[in-house]
Structure 1
């Protein structure tokens, strides 16, 4: 018979540190007096935990506030410079690597374009390594610990680091192992890999348009289309971590457009940036920009694309209605670089179309909003993967060979 797990003093101490650190991270600056009712810990426990975190350099003073009839209260905050994080976005047309401080303020960035022939695995591994080299060279305080590296990829991530990227030609690519064995990663630094839409979802739920919601869907519209489903505050993964492949739900069964996944009629084949530009070209549209972002901006400004955009709004509204009917979210966030370009122009028409396709009662309880974190949300979200582990560990820094992806962790 299995023995029940007994919490040790060490477990309790780490749990208390995690509780205090989490409150300070998401709700700080806070005083010691405010931390008591927020955490449920005694004043003695608060004093001990705060003392440890200050000694470790993770928490610092943030000024003081007057109190009613007593001495001023010292405010505490997480020290931004106490650690560094790296976020990597393996996008459709480029790889972006960003270095952040502990509060996710960007310190350095590297953008490395991908050639038109796409995502050769060895090239992607090499470019990630080159991006890491560039941003780490720019660290002003290299003595600060690097807490981890998070990578967002366009595909399903299984077993922690194996990527199934059907639209980019990846079939069970052991990306984590390849990166670890490449020699490009600093020794002993934890590595986390997840789907790019899910990293974007975590970022918007922690810091952006999803903050405060418990049941939400954060969508990513870029060259392709994806989503992160949040159920009762936790990202829903599904049986094999593929939940959220919204772009490959079917809009048109007979005579549907071909999708990059090999099927026909997928939502992505109608509202993804690559497909939208292809449809415009078929209608005689032309653009001068060298990249998809610039080309889509030209499409939005072109008088001859008005009908195409109206049609796209109806398709996107139908896709939004599917999310409403399936998941009953309180909030749907429209994100991704293409979603943020299309949103200001299309959002009213998308809402109208979604209302006509969705069931009235759940739609009435759903708000549809634009993402707030801009086109860097995938990279920010990738950096939250090691950040989440750091917060859960109560700020205990461990360097270890890691090839993992945390799943099921609360998003706020």
Structure 2
């Protein structure tokens, strides 16, 4: 039965379960007494919800704490083994697959390096399939026990009613790739286990906002600095984040040609691929054929040699120019969105690290408007190279929480009645 606000009793119970699960997940262990003010629920509602969650195996006891004069209060926590998720990072240098329990403790991982400039769809799909099968086998976990598999990909993600998720990765040569459908062909996962596919910058942002340097911020931009650059915007209106193609903002009219084909994109100056190309063009000692991560390490060693070694002036100049372009790009994000924090992650961002950050921050502040610049902090992300896979695994976890800790209902095996199909077709989209 629906109330005046349209919510049913089932909706209310689901919301209460979600509230308790999330508080235990982020702030636990907690007692039943502490869950009341933390969730805004009455003591009776807390007791009922906890009893349901314990019966479902999602919550377990975790010791006790003394109370003020009464009996010790039992502490509760989310049971780590009550659910499992897979996170996949389809990067531009490797495909990483990780298996996590419900508390995002890593149980197994597989990495598949990618050959230079080789992003064939069939190769990527096979790496994901094999990686999923391998981590499940390593952990001895049955596929049907998964809550889902989250996948972070480069490019724009489009959800369609007839073809599932399509990936438009212009910089890697992907044009409306039906990734979801391809993964379902020959997948090690049953149809009851959903795939959650989203932009890699968004999954990075999701991880940093839940567990990293973004915790507590209401308005942030998380930047993925890898072979190219991307960003995810998180605001109160878009709590799950929204990927923005920041790397293809024009920073120089008739400038360098970007991988997307346009001229003067930020990515053509600030991405690791372009940074290394500019170093070689200026006579740097980079070696062709070396993977990007190794080449960037070599460039940093040339620019900042240990001890009394002589620095490569070309490497230093290119890095400084890159810092200015990146800072100018960040100033646009500051002026447009006025975030509290800007977080820089991605393998290249982490490699450049604290040595690079002061110059980027200085240029960002000099190009941005004074008022929003005075309110923002620019920091490195805290979750390291696994941030995209962690964020990808959060996608099925967040869906699980939103359902009150219940798995999706299985799809009906028989077709819908004709009258229901007709009504659905007539309903506004």
Q: TM-score normalized by structure 1?
A: 0.91
Give the corresponding residue for 2:421. none
Contact 1:317 1:351 (8 Å CA) reproduced: yes
Contact 1:189 1:399 (8 Å CA) reproduced: no
Q: More displaced, 355-364 or 137-146?
A: 137-146
In structure 1, C-alpha distance between the alignment counterparts of 2:143 and 2:110, rounded to whole Å: 21
The answer to whether residue 175 in structure 2 is matched with residue 176 in structure 1 is no
In structure 1, C-alpha distance between the alignment counterparts of 2:176 and 2:409, rounded to whole Å: 27
Cα distance change of structure 1 residues 401 and 315 upon mapping to structure 2, 3 Å threshold: farther
Give the corresponding residue for 2:395. 385
The answer to whether residue 266 in structure 2 is matched with residue 267 in structure 1 is yes
Give the corresponding residue for 2:306. none
Give the corresponding residue for 2:28. 28
Give the corresponding residue for 2:418. none
Q: Deviations over 1:136-160 (max 9, x none)?
A: 1012454982110001100100116
In structure 1, C-alpha distance between the alignment counterparts of 2:37 and 2:117, rounded to whole Å: 57
Give the corresponding residue for 2:405. 395
Contact 1:215 1:233 (8 Å CA) reproduced: no
Contact 2:89 2:392 (8 Å CA) reproduced: yes
Q: Partner of 1:98: helix, strand, or coil?
A: strand
Give the corresponding residue for 2:324. 314
In structure 2, C-alpha distance between the alignment counterparts of 1:257 and 1:235, rounded to whole Å: 35
Give the corresponding residue for 2:359. 349
Contact 1:22 1:391 (8 Å CA) reproduced: yes
Give the corresponding residue for 2:219. 215
Cα distance change of structure 1 residues 332 and 9 upon mapping to structure 2, 3 Å threshold: same
In structure 2, C-alpha distance between the alignment counterparts of 1:375 and 1:342, rounded to whole Å: 13
Equivalent of 1:373, from 374, 383, 388? Answer: 383
Q: Quote the RMSD (CA, aligned, Å).
A: 2.0
Q: CA deviation at 1:100?
A: 0.4
Q: CA deviation at 1:286?
A: 2.3
Q: How does 1:185-334 map to 2 (within 5 A)?
A: 185-232=189-236, 234-235=238-239, 243-254=243-254, 256-287=255-286, 290-302=290-302, 303-304=311-312, 305-334=315-344
Q: Deviations over 1:285-343 (max 9, x none)?
A: 22469421121111112121111111111111101111100100010001111011113
In structure 2, C-alpha distance between the alignment counterparts of 1:144 and 1:395, rounded to whole Å: 16
In structure 1, C-alpha distance between the alignment counterparts of 2:42 and 2:4, rounded to whole Å: 27
Q: CA deviation at 1:227?
A: 0.3
Q: CA deviation at 1:233?
A: 6.0
Query: How many correspondences in the alignment?
Result: 395
Q: Deviations over 1:250-271 (max 9, x none)?
A: 11113x1111010111111111
Q: How does 1:7-26 map to 2 (within 5 A)?
A: 7-26=7-26
Contact 1:215 1:331 (8 Å CA) reproduced: yes
Give the corresponding residue for 2:108. 108
In structure 2, C-alpha distance between the alignment counterparts of 1:73 and 1:228, rounded to whole Å: 41
Q: More displaced, 117-126 or 5-14?
A: 5-14
Q: Deviations over 1:347-384 (max 9, x none)?
A: 11111111110000100000001000001111111101
Contact 2:206 2:240 (8 Å CA) reproduced: no
Contact 1:190 1:400 (8 Å CA) reproduced: no
In structure 2, C-alpha distance between the alignment counterparts of 1:143 and 1:63, rounded to whole Å: 32
The answer to whether residue 369 in structure 2 is matched with residue 359 in structure 1 is yes
Contact 2:144 2:189 (8 Å CA) reproduced: no
Cα distance change of structure 1 residues 191 and 144 upon mapping to structure 2, 3 Å threshold: closer
Q: Partner of 2:231: helix, strand, or coil?
A: strand
- Name structure 1 gaps, 5 residues minimum: 403-412
Bigger-Rg structure (1/2): 2
Q: Partner of 1:277: helix, strand, or coil?
A: helix
